[in-house]
């Protein structure tokens, strides 16, 4: 795969990942997969039976980048490196997905209340028919959350498109006591690790 310039494709709908790439001066175009088609989503985010969290996030990210490469060819787009990522929240070895309604969001956040959980983000870069991939893990400790606080938070739009029902840069920042790891990784794209992958592929950063 020979890039026509230094731009990459970003295979992600996340506005946070776009902001983070812009923050380090990376030029990109969006290459979006479909969530709704007669055949279902192009990449399923269902957890396989017995699948561990790190295996899950690595697999989903790799599938995203590989399917995006096929999409680039099908659409006859200019050949460019493709970046994909996936983030998952884990507590006691259990993967917390994106809550569908206030009851599910509240139940998830009660599991995180007053405890430390893990946020795993895997990043994959497909370049010259080679996939470079890294997974970053951060630890986040929440303060105890009252029912009143949970009710108010779950009445906002924030929990419903985010793994674990929260965004570190959003309203839920008031829940967080400590972070160990990568703030940008918790947002959805660990910048140091991402920059290292891009530099390996000859993509300028900063």
- Which are the catalytic amino acids? 86
DSSP of 126-159 = EETTEEEEEEEEEEEEEPP--HHHHHHHHTSSGG
Q: Which residue has the tokens 């006691």?
A: 92
Rounded Cα gap, residues 36 and 12, in angstroms: 15
Rounded Cα gap, residues 153 and 132, in angstroms: 38
Letter string b/e over residues 53-82, b meaning 16 or more CB atoms within 10 A of that residue's CB = beebbbbbbbbbbbbbbebbeeeeeeebbb
Rounded Cα gap, residues 44 and 41, in angstroms: 6
**CA-wise closest residue to 175 among 198, 154, 197, 191:** 154
**CA-wise closest residue to 165 among 120, 115, 110, 125:** 110
């Amino acid at each position: 795969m020979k890039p026509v310039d230094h731009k990459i494709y970003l295979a992600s709908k996340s506005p946070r990942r776009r902001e983070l790439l812009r923050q380090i001066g990376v030029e990109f175009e969006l290459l979006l997969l479909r969530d709704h088609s007669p055949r279902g989503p192009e990449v399923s985010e269902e957890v396989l039976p017995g699948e561990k969290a790190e295996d899950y996030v690595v697999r989903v990210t790799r599938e995203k980048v590989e399917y995006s490469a096929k999409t680039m060819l099908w659409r006859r787009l200019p050949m460019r490196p493709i970046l994909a990522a996936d983030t998952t929240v884990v507590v006691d070895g259990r993967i917390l997905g994106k809550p569908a309604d206030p009851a599910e969001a509240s139940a998830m956040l009660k599991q995180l209340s007053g405890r430390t959980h893990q946020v795993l983000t895997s990043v994959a870069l497909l370049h010259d028919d080679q996939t470079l991939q890294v997974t970053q893990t951060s630890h986040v400790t929440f303060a105890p959350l009252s029912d009143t606080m949970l009710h108010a938070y779950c009445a906002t739009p924030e929990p419903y498109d985010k793994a674990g029902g929260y965004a570190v840069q959003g309203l839920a920042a008031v829940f967080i006591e400590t972070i160990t790891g990568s703030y940008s990784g918790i947002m959805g794209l660990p910048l140091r690790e991402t920059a290292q992958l891009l530099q390996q592929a000859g993509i300028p950063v900063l």
